[in-house]
Amino acid sequence: MYRYVIFLLFFYSCTPSSTKDDLSLKLGELPNAISITDAGSAKIIELIPEVVIGDDDKLILGYLSQIEIDSAGRVYLADWRQKQIHVFDKNGDYITALGREGVGPGEFQGFSHMKIKGNKLSVFDRRQFRINEFNLETLSYSNSTTVRQYPRNVGEYEEIKGWIPMYFIPRYDSTTIAGYMEHPKDSRIELETYNLGEYRGVKYYFMNYSGEIISDQLFEMRDREDLMATVEGKHLSRVQPAAFLGNTILRVSPEKEMISVWTKDFIIKIYDSNGNYERALYHASHSKRTIRREELIEFLHEDDWNNQLLVKHAELPEKWPSLFTIKIDDENRIWVGLIKEGEQFLEWWVITQQGDLVAKAYMPEDLSLKWLMSDPLLAIRDGYFYASKRDPDTGQELVVKYKMEYQ
C-alpha cells in the first residue's frame, strides 16, 4: 500500500477572486510551500512561427484532441472526428495515419490520453477502455490492452462504495490514476440528484489494469465549476469546461510525479510518483484579468445560441482564474499559463519543480481570447512550442510549431 496523503480541500464558488489573506490561510495548511519570486531576472522566450502543420489541401483535419512529439520531431495529432492519429514529419509534411474508426485491435472510438515512451506510442481510448500501442520505428499497430473501469475490490474501500469512476489518467506502466465521484454532474434541476453549483469531490487512487485499487486514497480534488441560469422558466447550463471558471488540472511528469492546480489560485502542488505530497509552489501577487460579459459572448460561435443565452444571463465571476493551464516540458519544467490584462492576454512562466522562475514567454499577438476558450492543444519539446489554432478564413484546425529563442 502507498502511504495515505492528506490533501487539503479548497472549497470555491463562482465568486470574486481570492484575497492575499485567503491565500495565506490556504498556504498555512500546506507544508513546504515555496514562493515563486519574479525578480525580473527571468529570460524572455520569443516564440517564432516556423512550421504550420495541417495546412494542406490534401488533408482536412477534423477535431484535434491530443498531441505528442517524438524524439525525431514527428508530430502525432489525434483526430477525434476521423478517429485516426495523423503523423507529420518535423517539417510539417504528412507521413501517414495510425488506426481507424472501429472496435477492433488498433481501432478507435475516441481519444483521452496519448503518450510516447521510447519507440512506442500509447493511446488511451476512454470509450472502449482500451490502450492501443503503435511501434514508432515502423509506424504500425503493435498491441492492445483492455483497462478495467470498475474496481474489483471496491468493497475494501467503503469511502467510495457505490461511487462512479469519472477520471482516468494512464501511467502506461500497467497502472492508472483513477478518480471516483459520488455522483456525476447532473443538470436535471427537477431531480434530487441535481448538483450544479455544489462541491463535487473526486477521490483519487492508483488502480491496475485488472481493476484492483492498489493504494490508499491519494488525495481529493474538486470537480470543475459550473455555469447555469434560468431564462424564461428554462434552466440552462454548460456541460463543457469553461476557461473563465475554476477547474482542477492534474498532470503526470516524465518522472511520474503528479502535479495539480486549482486554476483560481496560483498554488501548484507536487506529489512524488507514489502519490506522497512533497511541496507547493505559489505566487501571491498575480493580477487577474477582468471578465467582460460582452467579450465572452462575442467569442462564442454565432450558432451556439444556447451558450450565448447562458453567458448573457448567468452570474459570472468578477475575474478570470489566475491560471489557464499547466504543461510539463521534456526538461521536467512546469509551464504556467497566466491570464492577464492587455492584448498579450496569456503569459507563460517557466518554473523548475524547485520553484525557480527561469523564463517567460508570450503568445503571438494574433491570438485572442477566443483561442483560449477553444481549449487549444499544447506541447513543448526540444526547443519548440506547439499550439493549435484555427485558420480565420477557412476554419481549418491547424498546429503551429514555434521556435523558442531566448532573448
Q: Are 129 and 146 in contact (CB under 8 A)?
A: yes
Which three cell numbers mark 166?
469519472
Q: Cell 495539480 belongs to which residue?
A: 260
Q: Are 170 and 176 in contact (CB under 8 A)?
A: yes
pLDDT, one tens digit for every residue, the chain (407 residues): 333 333 333 333 333 344 455 777 788 789 999 999 887 789 999 999 999 998 877 777 888 999 999 999 999 999 999 999 999 999 999 999 999 999 999 999 999 999 999 999 999 999 999 999 999 999 999 999 999 999 999 999 999 999 999 999 999 999 999 999 999 999 999 999 999 999 999 999 999 999 999 999 999 999 999 999 999 899 999 767 889 999 999 999 988 999 999 999 999 999 999 999 999 999 987 788 999 999 888 887 665 767 889 999 999 999 999 999 999 999 999 999 999 888 788 999 999 999 999 999 998 877 777 788 878 899 999 999 999 988 777 778 899 999 999 98
Going by C-alpha positions, the residue among 196, 208, 390 that lies closest to residue 301 is: 390
Q: Is 288 exposed, middle or buried (0-12, 13-18, 19+ CB in 10 A)?
A: buried
Domain boundaries, the chain: 20-406
pLDDT at residue 40, as a whole number: 78
19, 169, 341 from 250: Cα distances, Å = 24, 9, 26
Q: Report the DSSP pairing between strands 164-170 and 175-181.
A: antiparallel
Reported for 349-357, long-range contacts at CB under 8 A and 24+ positions apart, including other chains, are 349/36, 349/42, 350/42, 350/45, 351/36, 351/268, 351/281, 353/253, 353/257, 353/259, 353/270, 353/281, 354/34, 355/34, 355/35, 355/36, 355/279, 355/281, 356/36, 357/36, 357/37, 357/38, 357/39, 357/42
Which three cell numbers mark 197?
453549483
Q: Tell me the C-alpha distance between 57 and 76, whole Å.
A: 19
What CATH number was assigned to the domain covering residues 20-406? 2.120.10.30
pLDDT at residue 301, as a whole number: 67
pLDDT at residue 366, as a whole number: 72
pLDDT at residue 274, as a whole number: 95
| Overall pTM > 0.85 | yes
pLDDT at residue 385, as a whole number: 97
Q: Are 106 and 144 in contact (CB under 8 A)?
A: yes
pLDDT at residue 10, as a whole number: 34
Q: Tell me the C-alpha distance between 150 and 213, whole Å.
A: 10
